[in-house]
Structure 1
């Protein structure tokens, strides 16, 4: 019996365990597709976290408002501070009663150190008077340290705005109701130009204010929870505003000088759109031509946390959220100044009971062509009327007897 010894050729190849070029390209393509699918989800998760942080800031501020009210039996004054008849503008002998609600609330949201600087005379290295008066200098004075402080509680993480020409930015503002009329003047009728002079006859101003200023906060006037007859849970007291980035965004820099002797923005809230002041190719931005007249670059939305002026520290519930800023005169006068945010599709608002709600841009807002409610208004604009601006307007009024039948 023969045994055959079979031998395989020595040229037999070993098995390769590496990737071919084609296989490597396929794997890279798959990874690219997965990253493309996952990246929006990661970005959405980050925005959700920022949005939650923003909501928490408003909750902290709501708690501060309630603690303030418990201590003083009133809400912090919108447009409070000091006044000195005859003081020239720029003398810094007074802050012209221009302080926002956040100034008085500082010790109630962990900013006691800021409050201590404001409430006491602060050294003024090179100016007159020396030192600055208690309760601070004029809010446009960038040499007065407290006014330039940036406080995390007043900033929304989704808003990228930072640095000059702003002072200390704020993403939160007080709700002053559903009308632009007298939103800046209030019952004192303050309308300072060059020298501070208080009108000796306040009765006409008081009448105008009672008719038109229907929000939880009224300029230069004390208000309290007892004034909110519609119910704290049904009334907005504060909300978000997006700060200006210098890009002509209609939500963050106001078109000004739109009254021309008659209060057009009061009688036609949609005025700036009707006048074609926005860019046809980019309707979320003002046209680069003239008109519109825009506020100076240092007077953007939310640029001064300490100021109660309309562009910095107030909003009204006339136009829906994230609509244009359309002012009758200057940036610190009266106008249509809605809530706004960098979140997709809506804004956070703080209700009187401390709850924070996210309201969408599509909230029912009535007739945006309808004139505001004011002293000489007729029909649906007469004093005491329900808000012409639907659910959005109703949420901004404190005592107009509107009813809300659905959960926000």
Structure 2
């Protein structure tokens, strides 16, 4: 009499394998958004910290000289932005020691300085340490981009070229030879923006999309230069993110990175205020509130959370 022998199976069937693969695919699909969200949360925290450190550096500068750092020096032969000015207060004293303040930021003597990528001036949600080419007065220099800029004015069809205070250029920092004192900021330090995001240069972005060319982008510059030779306005844009439409427009934050507040964070952008506090500005921010936060002496009552 023959006895049957049981056979031990050592492998999956095709159906079982397909089921396992499907389950793994579902789990990855569920986990990937969570991982991406966690990474963006970490990047947002780092960006906020960058602006916090920049704000503290500006206030330490003010404590030393009793004036705010100059937004830009327009004098021929020593043109520059606020970046080189605060280097000693962001633990970059050695770099400032090499920077020639008696030369333009794009001069050959300073090119090696502005070609250094400083992580503090770059938002980690952006596109990395980008190279920018600066062409000024027949001189071409290479530098590294910066993602944080100080506005010097705004423009909106809601108010034309006049702000609520009657002057659209009264902002937290001023251009040499003028100086901005804290006493001039009568709207309150916690209600006045100092530095905002304007990320992604030297590429041109409109509402999250990189454009095929940079023809609509105001000239890019390094962290050492902006806005030394070019106006950085906060412009209220239309629904397309670039053109100005009707009174007030309909886009205030993350419209485009040519003129305005722009980031790669979903839903808004960060700004540091004169008191050192950092706020996330929602894309739904009202144009009138945004303009009120830019000027220093409009005496507006800000009723909307920003």
- With normalisation by structure 1, the TM-score equals 0.60
Superposed CA deviations along residues 188-245 of structure 1, whole A, max 9, x for unmatched, are xxxxxxxxxxxxxxxxxxxxxx833121123332102111100011111111011225
SS of 1:59's equivalent? helix
Runs of 4+ in structure 1 deviating by more than 6 angstroms, as ranges, are: 310-313
2:274 corresponds in structure 1 to 352
Structure 1 position 80, deviation (Å): 2.3
Structure 2: distance between partners of 1:13 and 1:116: 83
SS of 2:167's equivalent? helix
1:46 corresponds in structure 2 to 39
* Cα gap change, 1:55 to 1:325, in 2 (>3 Å): closer
Structure 1: distance between partners of 2:85 and 2:69: 6
In structure 2, list runs of 5 or more residues that go unmatched.
134-142, 157-165, 238-251
1:219 corresponds in structure 2 to 175
Within the candidate set 64, 79, 86, 2:57 is matched to 64
2:291 corresponds in structure 1 to 393
- Whether the 8 Å contact between 2:71 and 2:227 is mirrored in structure 1 is no
The one of the two structures with greater contact order (alpha-carbon pairs below 8 A, sep at least 6) is: 2
Structure whose residues are more often strand by fraction:
2
Superposed CA deviations along residues 311-361 of structure 1, whole A, max 9, x for unmatched, are 8784426441222467xxxxxxxxxx2110111121101111111001111
Structure 1: distance between partners of 2:230 and 2:14: 60
1:147 corresponds in structure 2 to 114
Structure 2: distance between partners of 1:173 and 1:105: 13
* Cα gap change, 1:31 to 1:325, in 2 (>3 Å): closer
Q: Does 1:156 pair with 2:123?
A: yes
* Cα gap change, 1:172 to 1:161, in 2 (>3 Å): same
Aligned-residue Cα RMSD (Å) equals 2.8
Superposed CA deviations along residues 75-112 of structure 1, whole A, max 9, x for unmatched, are 011122754xxxxxxxxxx12xx321121101001110
In structure 1, list runs of 5 or more residues that go unmatched.
1-6, 84-93, 119-133, 181-209, 252-282, 327-336, 366-389
**Structure ID, larger Rg:** 1
Q: Does 1:405 pair with 2:306?
A: no
1:340 corresponds in structure 2 to 262
Superposed CA deviations along residues 52-72 of structure 1, whole A, max 9, x for unmatched, are 101000000111011111111
2:98 corresponds in structure 1 to 117
Q: Does 1:231 pair with 2:188?
A: yes
Structure 1: distance between partners of 2:6 and 2:230: 78
